[in-house]
Structure 1
Amino acid sequence: MLMNKKVLIVDDDPRNIFALRLTLKSRGYQIVSCTMAQEAIDILKNDNQFTAVLMDMMMPEMDGYEAIKIIRSTPSISQIPVIAVTAQAMPEDRQKCLDAGAQDYVSKPIDVDHLMNAIEKLS
């Protein structure tokens, strides 16, 4: 396991951030969160020492697909693992997230065991 257990949660719904924050903090993770994709990119550019980014795919202004593409095309942050988190749960949605550059995909409502496995696989 990485010594630096820090996760960035990006979701436009504060209730989702709250629930994920509680779940991950109880497992020893440091949490940083934001509600906008551009803010997430700025956070990553200032601190690229994250274990993972949990990226909501459906957000206003800039969606998760566009944000992941920007992350992947920015050399200083391109290596940071991104897990797509979305309410879209069709098989083609999973593939669309992976094609955008996500390392993994977790559908909402979130299965905590699946989420933890996805994060720990990255370490």
Structure 2
Amino acid sequence: MFAISGMLETYGMTVLHAPNGRKGIEVLLANSGIDLILMDVMMPEMDGYATTAAVRAMQQYARLPIIAVTAKAMQGDREKSLASGASDYVTKPVDADELLDTMQRVLGERGPGEGADS
């Protein structure tokens, strides 16, 4: 995910990191104004599926775009990511153009004022 972070920072985006899902939720709650989450599916302690479901259970983040990112491209992974609440799914190695297109699309699917501050 750090390679992805570097790429996003070159586009002027601010990137926050968390080593696992539990810390990710702490980072989310401590930082208002988060526009999108890139969720690594394979994390220690609390995987991306459980973390995504936990974020979705919080009313204020029910529509926050979440893109699942995983090296697992096996059949069923996309469906499992979407079922846990992900807005979309990309596989590693991440293609920069595909990721940016996906980010733009899921950010555009929110209505006005439906970000983290809603």
TM range (shorter): 0.7 to 0.9
Instruction: Please state which structure has a larger fraction of its residues in strand.
Output: 1
Q: Which residue of 2 aligns with 1:120?
A: 104
CA-based RMSD: 1.2
Q: Hey, what's the Cα distance between the residues in 2 that align with 1:98 and 1:54? A: 13
Number of residue equivalences: 107
Distance 1:31 1:66 in 2: 21
Which of 71, 78, 95 in structure 1 is aligned with 2:62? 78
Question: TM-score scaled to structure 1, two decimals?
Answer: 0.81
- Letter of the 1:20 partner, please give it: I
Which amino acid is the alignment partner of residue 69 of structure 1?
A: A
Instruction: Give runs of ≥4 in structure 1 deviating > 4 Å.
Output: none
Segments of 5+ residues of structure 1 without an aligned counterpart are 1-15
Indicate whether 1:110 and 2:110 are aligned.
Answer: no
Secondary structure of the equivalent of 2:89? strand
Please report how far the alpha carbon of residue 78 of structure 1 lies from its aligned counterpart in structure 2 after TM superposition.
2.3
Distance (Å, rounded) in 1 between the aligned partners of 2:44 and 2:27: 18
In 1: Cα distance, 2:7 partner to 2:103 partner: 12
Q: Show the counterpart of 1:100.
A: 84
Contact 1:45-1:76 at 8 Å conserved across structures: no
Query: Structure 1 CA distance, aligned partners of 2:79 and 2:32?
Result: 26
